[in-house]
Amino acid sequence: MDPVQISFTVIAALVVLALIFDFLNGFHDAANAIATVVSTGVLKPTQAVAWAAFFNFIAIFVFHLSVAATVGKGIVDPAAVDHIVVFGALSGAIAWNIITWYFGIPSSSSHALIGGIVGATLAKAGTGPLVWSGIAKTVAFIIISPMLGMLLGAAMMLAVSWIFFHKQPSKIDRWFRRLQLVSAAAYSLGHGGNDAQKTIGIIWLLLLSGGYLAHGDELPYWVVVSCYVAIGLGTLFGGWRIVRTMGQGITKLKPVGGFCAETGGAITLFLASALGIPVSTTHTITGAIVGVGSSHRVSAVNWGLAGKIVWAWVLTIPCSALMAAIAWWFGHYVL
């Protein structure tokens, strides 16, 4: 095979690997979008994943590619990225996703990918190519996104409780069972809009490094469509191990609480996507669920489980970075 054919084969294989990560992202994070609507009994699991997957894809028509641009250009200098760095980044992120899915830990696929990019780049070229401002913004939102989700979830729960103070609980439950369909759709829209773009960003980097795109070229539309399809299919197959943790493990939810948590999380995701910040849907919805639970009473939240989830957040970037660095070393000898 001549060099061009080999180059195209490697690029094509890595695009497939990126779409596998995107599928696993949807599979792993499906629980974030459907856990509350399933645990409150509003939808059956099969209905819930179909609902979420549909709105994951519809996000293609709603959001600009601001997050993709951040991942593609705002974490590391694209000039330092080659196919081996992309291989290491994706391998590290996929490995961490599989490990946390197996143990039912709601970690962040987004930060696993960011950690993978950083780890593989460090293994290749050290700290020079890292864009510290972009990394700092992403790390800051590890704290900001769950805090904002928690504040919005708690505020909405308190507002709803005050507005419907004199209403019969049975009527409120019936109204919010319907409204939770809207909030689940909004959250899934935000999930697709933020998370699919992270894979778009990594493929963008790959095409730039392989010479298939020049700086300033428009991103091919097949990249955008394939990434949204992949995350939607991943959501459709769902990560059921995590649903139990997110749905009832942190706090017991009723339809009104599910609506408030999903709406608070959706607002956070919409804001982050508009600003081009790659945030964790896991962190966001966890914070919103904690906010809803703590608005009743602090003891309503399983703080022990919440603490374990926070540890997973802390470990995601360094662990995925380490795995990516090992994968880069392996790819350096194989690719």
In angstroms, the CA 54 to CA 56 distance is 5
- Supply angle C-alpha 196, 26, 218, rounded to 5: 15
Longest dimension (CA), the chain: 76
Tokens standing for residue 329: 């070393």
| Residue 278 dihedral angles phi and psi, to the nearest 5° | -80, 100
Identify whether the C-beta of residue 120 lies closer than 8 Å to the C-beta of residue 89.
Answer: yes
- Supply angle C-alpha 80, 66, 56, rounded to 5: 115
Exposure of 112 in the CB half-sphere (CA atoms within 13 A)? 29
**How far from chain centre, in Å, is Cα 227?**
13
Give the pTM: 0.84
pLDDT in tens, the chain (335 residues): 334 445 788 899 999 999 999 998 888 777 666 777 777 778 887 788 889 899 999 999 998 888 888 887 788 988 888 899 999 999 999 999 888 877 777 678 888 999 999 999 999 999 999 999 888 888 888 888 888 988 999 999 889 888 887 777 677 878 888 888 899 899 899 989 888 998 999 998 888 888 888 777 888 999 999 999 999 999 888 755 555 544 444 456 678 888 888 899 999 999 988 888 888 887 788 888 888 887 766 555 665 666 666 777 788 899 999 999 999 999 988 87
Tokens standing for residue 60: 């293609």
260-275 pLDDT tens trace: 888 999 999 999 888 8
